[in-house]
Amino acid sequence: MFAGVGVALSVLAFFLKKNKVELDAMKETVRKLELKDAMNSERIRTLLKTVEDRRRDIQKIFDKING
């Protein structure tokens, strides 16, 4: 009986450890994706600022031409 309980606990521990390893791998993947998303968001913010600056510059040029 004790051997059966021991085997059952061993099998349970094996699957719990296997699931933990898979979960840790998924957490690492999610962390990397979050970092990439943050970098992309910062790039987009910088690009939008640059585009807005260029738009203002173009407006100033047209105002000088039509002025």
23 vs 29: CA distance, rounded Å: 10
Coil, strand or helix at 67: coil
Q: pLDDT by residue for the chain (67 residues), tens digit each? A: 878 888 999 999 999 999 999 999 999 999 999 999 999 999 999 999 999 999 999 999 999 998 7
pTM of the predicted model, to two decimals?
0.62
pLDDT for res 5: 87
Q: Token pair for residue 5?
A: 């309980």
